[in-house]
Amino acid sequence: MRVDERLFGALICLLGVVVLWHSAGFPEVAEQYYGPAMFPSIIGWGFVISGTWLFGAAVRRSGASRGLISFPDWRGSWRGAVSVVLMLVAILAFIYLGDWVGFQILSFVTLVLLYLTAGRGVLKSIAIAFAVTLCLDLLFSKLLRVPLPSGLLTDFPRLI
Amino acid sequence: MDYLVPALRLVLQPDTLWAVMLASLFGFIVGALPGLTATMAVALLVPITFLLSPLAAIASIVAASAMAIFAGDIPGALLRIPGTPASAAYVEESYKLTLAGRGGYVLGVNATCSMIGGVIGTAVLILAAPLLADVALSFSAFEFFWLSFLGLSCGAFVAGDAPLKGGIAMLVGLLISTVGMEYSSGFPRFTFGNPNLLEGVSFIPALIGMFALPEILRSLLKGAAVISASGAKVTDDWKSVFSSIFRYRRVTLRSSALGTAIGILPGAGADIASWISFAVAKRFSKEPKKWGTGHIEGVIAGSSANNAALGGAWIPALVFAIPGDTITAIAIGVLYLKGMNPGPAVFINNADLVYAVFLVFILANLLLLPFGWVAVRLAKVVLGIPRDILMPALFILAIVGAFAIDNDFSGVWIMLCLGVIAYVLEECGFPIAPIVLGIVLGKIVEQNLVQSLISTQGNLLGFFERPVSAVLGVVTILIWSWSLLRWARRRLRGAASEPTG
């Protein structure tokens, strides 16, 4: 995904304004000149100046009008596009369903879907996904003792 | 010397030695796969090192980064695709030598020069860091403010070829560093009521997001790429390796010294060290006509410099908590997590650990030679791992790693948000390294700025009253002026060359 520099400059400038506006609401510290708003305000002004600069330079440079947002990576690659959507959905699934469904099931399902999307066969996808999930579970749960949530598998006897 | 025996005892602990071995293997796999950087290897490794002892954790970072930088040479020589950006400078020379049937010779030179460069960088680190720390003990908030500001300026202006974009990236990093409770008043800034953000944006998930996620995303978008190195012939030729390095010993030493010096500069790491050393070696070569035809001199220069830069980057990281490159930025985060707070006092409070880290550096670099020998034999196996099998596995590793830092899914949120931001920024030509510098240095800059302003009652001239502070301040101002002048000159030249009619 590529964003045109004119739009990017304008967005950076807007971010600066938002930072300045938000920081203006920070309290002042009694008997102290420099409160919590000072540093974010400097950053905010930095965004406003550099965003305006980027916008101005892009406007001067740009000849024929182009799209403000383009997706050069996505052309002709439905597998890639589906994989990326799957990735984003998987991350959200881990965040919202992680505790309930559990790491092992989510990891296995995500891997199977990603391998299938990449064009691997069903059996091969299941086998590799199972092996990878098992290795990561062993590494983090057993060796490093990270309490990965097991969710639905909590009450099932562990494989290992 | 008093610390050497306890330090050696720490290094010889089985967990440290295992960490070095396994991290080297991991660094080798990630480094040898084209497109995956040494920084990505380290970022993904951190959650795994999280529960290790402080020394084993640092040892694994040192070993993985040194090995990944060397391993990046392997696909460069065999496939003409640099494994990491640090190997890009001399890939043409390496590949042409491989085509001439000298693949084993090139990889032998890569491994040996990586070891020599790494050991020289470490020697400078061991000698310079404690001396600098002695001087730095007398530093006040003014000096630390200028040092950290200098680090930010170098990262944004010196290292990149697009200072405006570098500057914006740095501001993004600084903004991220302000999230959480302000250090003097405790007022929560930019947390939007989320208690997970009170302590700030968790650093390791942020790094995993910025360095691993965009790479995985790009790789999946491009689809499967199975790389085959079947055409390349790899046979040992160690006699020629050592005779070539002896013949070009001055190039080896000069490039190692140059690499170390470049590594010390904040923001300029192994990649830039390799390019500059390659260019310098070419400029002073006695055989200029051989360059571009598969000449080993360039390979020697680049391989020595990129590993030397790794040691150099640790000098500002250990002494001032200012990272020399993205790998040391991660290492600083780990040092804080492990209670080994970097800064001049680390040489007093944790002297035995610091000297153990030095020993680990030497060990990791010396191991490059035998590991390199094995690695050359494993090269074809690793290069044959299909990308579409590996990337989803690394994706799950990234999620679990982001979770494991705080045992909380808020880390995964941070990874996702910063991964998406980094991906979009990179696609638009913004560098990522200044963001990391901004996150690491933001708090240091702010705290020292506020302390200095309070002590001078807002008088900015007070920032130039102490001699070291004045020198650092002038250097920082010169860097800014030089960058602005260069930009203005380019603008004027551009305006002059435009057709007027």
What ipTM does the predicted assembly reach?
0.89
- Residue B228: pLDDT above 70? no
pLDDT in tens, B442-454: 888 898 898 888 8
- Find the range with the poorest average confidence among A124-128, B69-73, B247-251, B365-369: B69-73
Residue A31: per-residue pLDDT: 64
- Residue B230: pLDDT above 60? no
Among B395, B423, B448, B449, pick the best mutation site for testing chain A contact (most A Cβ within 10 A). B395
Q: Do A39 and B399 touch (CB under 8 A)?
A: no
CA distance B192 to chain A (A): 11
A-B Cβ pairs (cutoff 8 Å, strict): 166
Which residue from A minimizes the CA distance to B448? A39
pLDDT in tens, B311-350: 888 888 888 888 877 788 888 888 888 888 888 888 888 7
Q: From chain B, pick out residues whose CB is under 8 angstroms from the CB of A120.
A: 388-389
Q: Do B217 and A1 touch (CB under 8 A)?
A: no
Percent of chain B with pLDDT over 70: 90
Q: How far apart are CA A1 and CA B206, in angstroms?
A: 20
Which residue from A minimizes the CA distance to B164? A50
Give the helix/strand (H/E) hosting B405. helix B387-406
Residue B501: per-residue pLDDT: 33
Q: How far apart are CA B418 and CA B180, in angstroms?
A: 16
pLDDT in tens, B405-459: 778 888 899 999 999 999 989 888 888 878 888 887 888 889 889 888 888 877 8
Percent of chain B with pLDDT over 90: 9
B453 lies within 8 A of chain A by CB = yes
Both tokens of B217, joined, read 């995303």
Within B223-367, where are the H helices?
238-247, 249-264, 270-283, 296-320, 326-337, 346-349, 351-366
Q: How far apart are CA B399 and CA B396, in angstroms?
A: 5
CA distance A7 to chain B (A): 11
B446 lies within 8 A of chain A by CB = yes
Q: Do A98 and B409 touch (CB under 8 A)?
A: yes
Residue A46: per-residue pLDDT: 95
pLDDT in tens, B66-96: 888 888 788 778 767 676 777 777 887 888 8
Instruction: Give me the mean pLDDT over the B365-384 stretch.
Output: 76
Which residue from B minimizes the CA distance to A145? B51
Residue keyed to tokens 């200095």: B452
> Residue B227's pLDDT band (boundaries 50, 70, 90)?
very low
> Residue B224's pLDDT band (boundaries 50, 70, 90)?
very low
- Residue B195: pLDDT above 80? yes
Q: Give pTM, 2 decimals.
A: 0.78
CB of A111 closer than 8 Å to CB of A126: no
Instruction: Give me the mean pLDDT over the A55-80 stretch.
Output: 71
With a CB cutoff of 8 Å and minimum separation 6, the contacts of B299 are B90, B93, B94, B97, B106, B109, B110, B113
- Directed axis angle between helix B54-71 and helix B296-320, to 10°? 160
* Higher-scoring residue by pLDDT: B309, A79: B309
C-alpha to C-alpha distances, B333 to B212, B277, B330, B342, B436, nearest whole angstrom: 17, 29, 5, 9, 11
B239 lies within 8 A of chain A by CB = no
> Residue B202's pLDDT band (boundaries 50, 70, 90)?
confident
Q: How far apart are CA B271 and CA B83, in angstroms?
A: 12
Q: Do A146 and B428 touch (CB under 8 A)?
A: no
Which residue from A minimizes the CA distance to B392? A111
Residue B119: per-residue pLDDT: 92
- What's chain B's average pLDDT? 82
Which residue from B minimizes the CA distance to A105? B396
- Residue B383: pLDDT above 90? no
Residue A86: per-residue pLDDT: 92
CB of B316 closer than 8 Å to CB of B309: no
Instruction: Give me the mean pLDDT over the B230-246 stretch.
Output: 71
| Torsions phi, psi for B185 (to 5 deg) | -100, -20
B218 lies within 8 A of chain A by CB = yes
Residue A49: per-residue pLDDT: 94
Q: From chain B, pick out residues whose CB is under 8 angstroms from the CB of A110.
A: 392, 395-396
Put simply, the chain B residues between 370 and 409 with a CB less than 8 A from any chain A CB are 388-389, 391-393, 395-397, 399-400, 403-404, 407, 409
